[in-house]
Structure 1
Amino acid sequence: MDRLAGADREAGPVVVAPAVLPPSPRAWLGTIAALAALAVVVLGVLYAGHSAPGGVDGWIVRPTADSVRPPWRYAALATDFLGEPAGAATLVVAVGAGCLLLGRPRAAVLVVAGTGLTVGTTTLVKPLVGRTIHGADNLSYPSGHTAFLTALALVVALLAAGRLGLGRAAGASLVLAAALVAGAAMGWAQVALGAHYPTDALGGWCTALAVIPATAWLVDWTADRMAERFVGRTAGAVRRERR
């Protein structure tokens, strides 16, 4: 940003959109992303080709598709809808529009790119791992629903932490709490409805924790490079006019 400020003397004031990944949480989020990616790989190797609950799944209560009854079943179905195409698209549009209204275009880009890349990653990983549930055609690891809602919660939490000016500890607490609540809610819904094993939900949660920080860094890096090129072209045009 210092280079952009220096160019302002000739090109005039340039407004740079706030970063979606401020410097304070960048280091610890990078560490978490690396650990989460490792967890996705380890779980994928452990359950590759499996079609039954694993040892870790046995530590958690696993309701069957008909054992969760109203009103909790309605809650599970409503939560599950948020990860379906119609529900997910509605959430992305609503949150992206909110980001634009708040003057955070980078966050709006992250909403679309981050959630898209997160769900895309789960789609690519599933056939590689080959874990199934309720038949050979139902690939289950990692859970795309859990990954999506966790990713969206991470983006919203990053935006909130930036706008509130939270320090490292408070910002980290907010971001991780949002990811934990969203991941736990969707993970419970998927297990309660019999759509996934608990470790599938854990894998989806970790996928979001790995993808979103990397995508946020890429969005900021790309936006900064574009701003630099714009300032450079503007400064060159000003110099030519002065001649």
Structure 2
Amino acid sequence: MGDLQNKTALVTGGTSGIGLAVVRRFVAEGAHVFVAGRSSDKLAAVSDELGVDVTAVQGDVSRPGGLDAVFQAIAERGAGLDAVFANAGGGEFAAIEDITWEHFTTTFESNVGGVILTVQTALPHLNANANAAIVLTSSNIDVKASPAFSVYAASKAAIRSFARSWAAELVDRGIRVNSVAPGPIATPGLSGLAAEPEQADALLGGLAAGVPMRRLGSPEEIAEAVLYLASPRSSYVTGTDLYVDGGASQV
């Protein structure tokens, strides 16, 4: 029996990187997983890989109504939700003098607004008083400084605050809320922060050098942390921000 046997979960941004690793881990633990993403091709690939254990539905967390089709599918299945991993989001470098209104709004609509819309829309479907769990993706940058990444950092600090506030707000409904705070993780999104493809190796090497463990983390390592927070193993944990960053924020 897996930690999520006969449970139902939702993962947003579940077609690559950390999100996809979490989908795979949840399925391995016995869950049926609804996967939300913007790319129909990537969603099809997830369905082909994992088959009947997933329901992949196109959706955009950053706009109101963007997840309607996802939650319609959840309602039609009739099992509600036991876990939500609100993971979709991203960011780009911008020095303070280069921050544009578009850069700010795009980052906050996805990373902050998208999490609000996901959790708000998920609440009626959550199997409350049954140790239901919401896990948000923050980042260790919510307590660190990173030049030219201030808007992204601010958006992730907001996620950290949501986890605390929503944990207090939903505790009497039997819903736990936590966040997971990855450090630099070897994902396509991290490589994509490089200004040019040929600069990616230097970027990743520099990030790894700043980690006490002297390496990048893997999406699978984050998936293990998310599984813990989403499963009954963390039944006495709520409101926390779990740093999975090789010690970068703590040592």
Fold in common (TM above 0.5): no
TM-score by structure 2 length?
0.25
Which structure shows the bigger proportion of residues in strand conformation?
2
TM-score by structure 1 length?
0.25
- Structure showing greater radius of gyration is 1
Which structure shows the bigger proportion of residues in helix conformation?
1
Q: Which protein, 1 or 2, shows the higher relative CO under an 8 Å CA cutoff with sep ≥ 6?
A: 1
